[in-house]
Amino acid sequence: MSLEKTEVKLHENNRPNLSRYSITAWFYDMLDLPWERQYSKWRPHLVGGVRGKTLEAGIGTGRNLKYYHHDVHLTGIDLCPAMIRRAHKRSKKASCKVTLFQEDACLMESIQSNHYDWIVSTFLCCVIPEDLQKPVLDQFARVLRPGGQFRLLEMVYSQKPHLKRRQDFFAPFVEKVYGARFDRKTLHHVTGSDNLKVTGTQYLKEDVYLLIDGIKRSSEPTV
């Protein structure tokens, strides 16, 4: 396991998230504990079948790390160095090779094109501002090899009135602390991508936790 230090270029519209998580990182795991009781049951399914060169974008404090197969060569990136340092501690118990460093998923200037077999992202896009959704997905398409796969787990607004009322109650807290919103249009942006193709969607719980699976198209679309 290695923790690389690099000079990172940040997208100006993503800087508020860096400022937010520089504080939130100190108590992130404690705040997330009530939800982690559910998430920990999903994580083996989310990453257990992943193989090859894998990029986890928005690795956070590294909760997924211990569930990766030993054949995975994992690169983990996050906007916030404090989150990366916490992920580094967890990486010591991972069975796969892990490299961690700070990087803005909107730019990914240090990551080569057509390189990864897999991209995994859990609750990244619901944190990314709406105007940066397409840049993030464009970067996913760039760094995936043709035919490479991606798996995104996001939170969305429920269509059930009682659940949406609960989400509305928590929405100010969720946005202030995590920068996340329930109204991001990630699936819409993925389906509109020229280079990414959705192969399946499912809800892991209610109609809130949306899992999006897909691949990078093998060739440029015809015009």
- Closest by CA position to 99, among listed 1, 197, 212: 1
For the domain 2-216, what is the CATH code? Answer: 3.40.50.150
Give the span between the Cα atoms of 58 and 138, in whole angstroms.
16
What stretches of the chain adopt beta strand conformation (E)? 2-3, 53-57, 73-78, 97-102, 116-122, 144-155, 196-205, 209-216
Contact 105, 136 (CB under 8 A): yes
**Structure confidence at residue 9 (pLDDT):** 85
Residues of the chain with pLDDT under 50: 221-223
Neighbours of 156 (CB within 10 A): 19
Give the span between the Cα atoms of 68 and 62, in whole angstroms.
11
Three-state DSSP at 18 gives: helix
Residues in the chain: 223
**Structure confidence at residue 7 (pLDDT):** 66
**Structure confidence at residue 181 (pLDDT):** 97
Domain borders along the chain are 2-216
Contact 105, 10 (CB under 8 A): no
- Closest by CA position to 74, among listed 103, 94, 89, 49: 94
Contact 89, 16 (CB under 8 A): no
**Structure confidence at residue 8 (pLDDT):** 81
**175 Cβ contact partners less than 8 Å away, ≥ 6 residues apart:** 181
Token pair of 94 as six digits: 């991972």
Give the span between the Cα atoms of 123 and 95, in whole angstroms.
23
Q: CA torsion, points 133, 135, 139, 142, in degrees to nearest 10?
A: 120
- Closest by CA position to 178, among listed 126, 107, 137, 120: 126
